[in-house]
Amino acid sequence: MSFYTYNVVAFVLINASIAYLQRRRDGKTAIARTQNSVQDGESGRAALTAEEAVIWQFKKKFMPVYLLAFGADWLQVWPYIYTMYKDEKSLPEETVAHLFTTGFLAAAISASFVGSLADRYGRRSACLFFCIAYSLSCFTVLFDDIYILFAGRILGGLSSTLLYSVIESWMVTEFHRQKLQDAGALSDIFGLMITGNAVVAIAAGLFAQHLADFTGTQAAPFLAAVVLLVLAFGFISSRWNENYGDSHNANVDGLLPASEEKEKNGFQYIYQGEQSYEDTEKAMLMEDIDKRLWALCLTSSCFEGTMYLWIFFKFPALKLFHEEGGKGSELPFGMIFAALMCAMMLGSLFFTYYYSLKPGRWIVSPSRMLTITLFVASTCFILPVLVHNEAVTFWCFCVFEICCGIYFPSIAQLKEKIVEDGVRAKIYGILRIPLNIFVVLGLMLTKDGKQLS
């Protein structure tokens, strides 16, 4: 086996071991809870069984839509977008760069209002609109007209904002609306989302490669993505309830009624500095929320912005060190992608397993875990610059993916605790504005080159 195949096999074995330990621990926990409920009587056991059944039904309602939506996104992986524009449509490099930049600018601009609209008119409706908009974006690749292609990137940017804001907003709000008290279940869902996303990414990457080879066109995966979006549309329309933010005038599905304070837009909600409160305790609370929101905004912008830039340049970096090592054969990009996704899965499995342990001296808070993750992730980009080695670079990239697997459920858990349900989609959208601006500036400052300095 090759170097990269060995790494894939190693990651699969490690992931399988952690998954086995997690399942074994869950089994012991279930037995312990059942024994406790027996001591509390038949009513306690019935209540426990009913809540577990509701949580299971909730996962069955949410996870298929989440995986279908992100599966459609993964089918349009960046190499296919680039090669389709550059090779199949013979567009100049500068035009391709403008198309990418347009997508991120559209995402940044749309993030300022799509969350507010979702809170006002319904997160379920916003998710249905996402399926339609992303499908239209996929269909634009069938045309050679440059204006249609730019329209496709605008729709893609809008859809990206919806994908990363309203779907999770609906899930968290619906979890609270159903008054599910098991906090561990929500952490488990966050971990399951990232684990499932990694599995879907691997499957989508392999399927897209075979589909493109079979059809002879890089546009085929985009059309396959439309099929997944149609399925997601069907699941949402038939299984999901509607939920709203506090800006909606009616008291819908048991959510809190609208209040004058919550009518603020997302920017005003985050920036509380100009607000004054007669109640000192309330003022201190709002100041604390303000600081935490700013910290979330800065963290997500830097980490996720870096991740997006890394997506563009990870393969060129490995290829550069591969050539410097005097190896003439081409890199197995499909195997590398699978290894990196397995590494991300390892991070999410670790997160789920770690927070299923009993609280103790070694269990740190999600915020402390996030701090450690950010520190480790930063070292993953220092070593490749100092040590020009293909294997070292690949392992650093794997560690970074592990950090991604820990980061996403950690940041999701923090957002769930800090952001109120009534303005959840609004704030989730606002938090993506600086992220997209960060990526656009990073791409604008990028220069072609053969050496790292």
> Which tens digits make up the pLDDT trace of 183-233?
567 888 888 898 899 899 888 888 887 888 888 888 889 999 999 999 999
Contact 253, 243 (CB under 8 A): yes
In a domain, 155, yes or no: yes
Q: Determine the average pLDDT of the residues in 363-392.
A: 87
pLDDT for position 271: 55
pLDDT for position 289: 54
In a domain, 17, yes or no: no
pLDDT for position 282: 47
In a domain, 148, yes or no: yes
Report residue 256's pLDDT band, with 50, 70 and 90 as the boundaries: very low
Q: Determine the average pLDDT of the residues in 57-82.
A: 86
pLDDT for position 453: 41
Residue from 109, 96, 430 nearest 245 by CA = 430
Which domain CATH number covers 215?
A: 1.20.1250.20
> Dihedral (C-alpha) 407, 408, 410, 413: value to the nearest 10 degrees?
170
In a domain, 111, yes or no: yes
In a domain, 87, yes or no: yes
Where does 75-178 have alpha helices with state H? 78-83, 93-110, 114-121, 123-139, 146-163, 166-177
User: How far is it, in rounded angstroms, from Cα 287 to Cα 274?
Assistant: 11
Residue from 201, 218, 452, 208 nearest 313 by CA = 452
Q: Which domain holds residue 414?
A: 56-241+278-444
In a domain, 255, yes or no: no
pLDDT for position 73: 92
Contact 48, 33 (CB under 8 A): yes
Whether 249 has a pLDDT exceeding 50, the answer reads: no
Whether 398 has a pLDDT exceeding 90, the answer reads: yes
Q: What is the pLDDT of residues 173-182, one digit of tens each?
A: 898 888 776 6
Residue from 404, 403, 407 nearest 367 by CA = 407
Mean pLDDT over each residue of the chain, to the nearest integer: 81
In a domain, 452, yes or no: no
Q: How far is CA 421 from CA 59, 81, 254, 416, in A?
A: 19, 36, 12, 8
User: How far is it, in rounded angstroms, from Cα 422 to Cα 398?
Assistant: 38
Q: What is the pLDDT of residues 287-335, one digit of tens each?
A: 555 677 888 888 888 898 889 888 878 888 888 888 887 776 677 877 8
Q: What is the pLDDT of residues 17-42, one digit of tens each?
A: 988 888 887 666 655 555 555 455 55
- Total tally of structural domains belonging to the chain: 1
pTM, rounded to two decimals? 0.80
